[in-house]
């Protein structure tokens, strides 16, 4: 989709050709002398549209306006939640006819926040997955114009939102692809593709290199599959070499069957989404590539399948991680922490200012927080606070979770330094406690996105979260770095 921001008077906008004009009005609406004003005033007077949030009126070939179709959407007092709902409702109304060019106009000059909401909600609601469908979708909404009055001060917010959308859509695309169309090798190719952008480099390691690094935990997960593992290293260099990077680590299990500790059949297809952490790293890089901030970022993706075969790792097997710690694999379905722990050790070599891992790690986190907020676990209050704030500004929420040492009790075993599972209680936290054993060298945060990375049911599909959160977090580090 092509997004553009235009400054036009209300009168000039009414004379612009577009397939659909979406007009968002508030209770504060004061009519001017232009055709659109007259039309809205008449509509309100006749009470064809009540002067409250949620009201919608769809008009074909409106008199005196150049658009083919006009949709009036009432946002009440224009609070964010009502604007979100109205933009989504507007797109839902248009989706069946798929007009090529849609123009958005707010009767009250939109704030920076409204501009971001308009772009991101519009893109989210109009997104459609097509890669493995043969039926041509035909037309699609291909162009969106956001009209503001004379004030172009929201341009940087608009650009940020468009970059976020491009990252989110990349994350959705890779999340949604079936596992046989998103293998570790294909994921690595997608990462390599990002190296076409300025300041981005990509290096891909295979089984031999990973063995040489001593990543025994990662190797143990990959062992049961015929698909070779990949360890993807992305870097974005926007600052001096001496400037410590933020490292993003994304769980890249392209399919999680559970391994020998096999999962039940119902909904197992959804385990193609078990690489959404990896997809969010690709998405964040895509967005950063567009905005070119003065920061350094590293992306690490351990990618493999978790399958069953004669070569699979077995419950009770003990493996040696890259850190040297031995791990008793009591449950082969707790594989995310195994691939992540070696990536977290690898991260040390970048002397990071902070490391954030992103993972569809535990069903327990879905039970704890549902699909509204991701869980954030951190050894650093400042980092945790910054992530929570980025979640608010990007409308991609997360919530702090505890890391008390008492939660690690269940990870003790007689046969290795640590077991990969504890009991069922506090499962999201015990998983984080396992990871914490590998992050002593830098400030660390872990985002459990098991509940937020995709939706189930009729609307099944990747959400592209938490790309928005990550982008806002990274952009904020660029700002605070400048203040120093
Ligand atoms: N990828 C799953 C977590 C998951 C499950 C995410 C369901 C979203 C929905 C992860 O690898 C896993 O299987 N975790 C186990 C851990 C358990 C064996 C300690 C889980 O949550 O059941
Ligand atoms: Mn699993
Ligand atoms: Zn998993």
Is 337 marked active-site?
Answer: yes
d(CA 212, CA 207): 9
Q: What is the pLDDT of residue 484?
A: 46
d(CA 295, CA 293): 6
- 122 and 200 both lie in a single domain: no
Catalytic residue among 95, 98, 263, 441, which? Answer: 263
Tell me the percentage of the chain whose pLDDT exceeds 70: 99
Nearest CA to ligand 1 atom 16: 334
Contacts of 114 (CB under 8 A, 6+ apart): 78, 80, 83, 106
- 309 and 337 both lie in a single domain: yes
For the segment 465-478, the average pLDDT, to the nearest whole number, is: 98
Q: What is the pLDDT of residue 163?
A: 98
Q: What is the pLDDT of residue 356?
A: 99
- 110 and 232 both lie in a single domain: no
Q: Are strands 326-329 and 354-359 parallel, antiparallel or unpaired?
A: unpaired
Q: Which domain holds residue 179?
A: 165-483
For the segment 100-105, the average pLDDT, to the nearest whole number, is: 98
- 118 and 216 both lie in a single domain: no
| Residue 4 in this model has a pLDDT that exceeds 50 | yes
d(CA 265, CA 255): 13
SS3 string of the chain?
CEEEEEECCHHHHHCCCCCEEEEEECCCCCCCCCHHHHHHHHHHHHCCCCCCCCCEEEEECCCCCCCCEEEEEECCCCCHHHHHHHHHHHHHHHCCCCCCEEEEEECCCCCHHHHHHHHHHHHHHHCCCCCCCCCCCCCCCCEEEEEECCCCCCHHHHHHHHHHHHHHHHHHHHHHCCHHHCCHHHHHHHHHHHCCCCCEEEEEECHHHHHHHCCHHHHHHHCCCCCCCEEEEEEEECCCCCCCCEEEEECEEEEECCCCCCCCCCCHHHHHHHHHHHHHHHHHHHHHHHHCCCCEEEEEEEEEEECCCCCCCCCCEEEECCCCCEEEECCCCCCHHHHHHHHHHHHHHHCCCEEEEEECCCHHHHHHHCCCCEEEEECCHHHHHHHHHHHHHCCCCEEECCCCHHHHHHHCCCCCCEECCCCCCCHHHHHHHHHHCCCCCCCEEEEECCCCCEECHHHCEECCCCHHHHHHHHHHHHHHHHHC
**This prediction's pTM:** 0.97
- 101 and 169 both lie in a single domain: no
Q: In this structure, is residue 85 part of a structural domain? A: yes
**Could you say which of 105, 120, 149 is where a domain stops?**
149
For the segment 349-367, the average pLDDT, to the nearest whole number, is: 98
pLDDT digits (tens, 9 = 90+) for 150-178: 888 999 999 999 999 999 999 999 999 99
For the segment 177-197, the average pLDDT, to the nearest whole number, is: 98
Counting from 1 in the atom list of ligand 1, the atom nearest the Cα of 263 is 13
Which residues have any ligand 1 atom within 6 Å of their CB? 256, 274, 331, 333-336, 360-364, 366, 421, 427, 450
| Residue 380 in this model has a pLDDT that exceeds 50 | yes
Counting from 1 in the atom list of ligand 1, the atom nearest the Cα of 430 is 19
Q: What is the pLDDT of residue 65?
A: 97
**Could you say which of 149, 176, 201 is where a domain stops?**
149
How far apart are the CA of 479 and the centre of ligand 2, in A? 38
Counting from 1 in the atom list of ligand 1, the atom nearest the Cα of 261 is 18
Nearest CA to ligand 1 atom 3: 362
Is 314 marked active-site?
Answer: no
d(CA 317, CA 332): 9
Mean pLDDT score of the chain, rounded to an integer? 97
- 327 and 462 both lie in a single domain: yes
- 108 and 235 both lie in a single domain: no
- 179 and 140 both lie in a single domain: no
pLDDT digits (tens, 9 = 90+) for 246-283: 999 999 999 999 999 999 999 999 999 999 999 999 99
- 175 and 141 both lie in a single domain: no
Q: Are strands 69-74 and 20-25 parallel, antiparallel or unpaired?
A: parallel
CATH (domain of 107): 3.40.220.10
**Could you say which of 149, 175, 203 is where a domain stops?**
149
For the segment 322-337, the average pLDDT, to the nearest whole number, is: 99
Confidence of residue 482 (pLDDT cuts 50, 70, 90): low
Confidence of residue 118 (pLDDT cuts 50, 70, 90): very high
How far apart are the CA of 333 and the centre of ligand 1, in A? 7
């Amino acid at each position: 989709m092509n997004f553009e921001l235009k400054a036009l008077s209300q009168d000039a906008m009414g004379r612009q050709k577009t397939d659909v004009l979406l007009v968002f009005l508030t209770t504060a609406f004061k009519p001017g002398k232009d055709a659109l004003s007259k039309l809205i005033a008449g509509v309100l007077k006749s009470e064809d549209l009540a002067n409250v949030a949620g009201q919608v009126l769809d008009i074909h070939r409106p008199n005196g306006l150049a658009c083919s179709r006009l949709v009036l959407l009432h946002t009440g007092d224009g609070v964010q939640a009502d604007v979100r709902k109205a933009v989504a409702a507007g797109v839902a109304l248009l989706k069946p006819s798929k007009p090529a060019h849609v123009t958005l106009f707010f009767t009250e000059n939109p704030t920076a926040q409204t501009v971001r909401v308009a772009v991101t909600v519009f893109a989210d609601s109009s997104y459609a997955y097509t890669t493995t469908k043969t039926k041509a979708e035909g037309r699609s909404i291909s162009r969106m114009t956001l009209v503001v009055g004379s004030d172009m001060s929201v341009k940087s917010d608009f650009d940020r939102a468009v970059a976020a959308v491009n990252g989110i859509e990349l994350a959705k695309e890779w999340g949604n692809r079936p596992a046989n169309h998103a293998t570790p090798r294909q994921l690595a190719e997608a990462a390599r593709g990002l190296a076409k952008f300025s300041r981005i480099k990509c290096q891909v390691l295979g089984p031999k290199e990973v063995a040489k690094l001593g990543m025994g935990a990662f190797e143990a997960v990959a062992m049961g599959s015929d698909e070779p593992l990949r360890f993807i290293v992305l870097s974005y260099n926007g600052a001096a070499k001496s400037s410590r990077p933020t490292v993003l680590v994304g769980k890249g299990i392209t399919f999680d069957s559970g391994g020998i500790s096999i999962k039940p059949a119902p909904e197992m297809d959804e385990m193609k989404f078990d690489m959404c952490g990896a997809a969010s790293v690709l998405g964040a890089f895509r967005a950063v590539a567009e905005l070119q901030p003065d920061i350094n970022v590293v992306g690490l993706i351990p990618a493999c399948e978790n399958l069953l075969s004669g070569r699979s790792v077995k419950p009770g097997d003990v493996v040696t991680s890259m850190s040297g710690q031995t791990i008793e694999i009591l449950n082969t379905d707790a594989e995310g922490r195994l691939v992540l722990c070696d990536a977290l050790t690898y991260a040390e070599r970048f002397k990071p200012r902070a490391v954030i891992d992103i993972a569809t790690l535990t069903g327990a986190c879905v039970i704890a927080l549902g699909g509204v907020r991701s869980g954030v676990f951190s050894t650093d209050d400042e980092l945790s606070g910054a992530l929570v704030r980025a979640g608010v500004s990007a409308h991609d929420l997360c919530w702090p979770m505890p890391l008390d040492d008492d939660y690690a009790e269940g990870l003790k075993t007689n046969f290795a330094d640590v077991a990969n599972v504890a009991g069922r209680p506090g499962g999201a936290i015990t998983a984080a406690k396992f990871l914490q054993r590998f992050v002593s060298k830098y400030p660390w945060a872990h985002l459990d996105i098991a509940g937020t990375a995709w939706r189930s049911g009729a609307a099944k599909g990747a959400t592209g979260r938490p790309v928005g959160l990550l982008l806002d977090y990274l952009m904020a580090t660029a700002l605070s770095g400048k203040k120093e």
